[in-house]
Amino acid sequence: MWELQNILVYLIVLAALAYLVKKFFLKKKRNSHSGCDTNCGCH
């Protein structure tokens, strides 16, 4: 029981970390891209 809980905790913490990394680091790339999108001239 104790072991199972530990494994579960590690998985959840890893998932949370992965989520944060994705949100704040991969996001920026997409953002700079959309920055060009909203700029005019790309017709």
CA–CA dist 25, 43 (Å, integer): 29
For the window 14-33, what string marks contact with another protein as x by the rule CB under 8 A? Answer: --xx-xx--xx--xx--xx-
Strands (E) in the chain, as ranges, are none
Tokens 């199972």 sit on residue: 4
Q: How far is the CB of 17 from another protein (least distance, A)?
A: 6
Q: Would you give the DSSP letter of residue 23?
A: I
Instruction: Tell me how far apart the alpha carbons of residues 33 and 3 are, in angstroms, rounded to a whole number.
Output: 45
Q: From the CB of 23, what's the least distance to another protein, in Å? A: 5
| Binding residues vs another protein (CB under 8 A) | 1-2, 4-6, 8-9, 12-13, 16-17, 19-20, 23-24, 27-28, 31-32, 34-35, 37-43
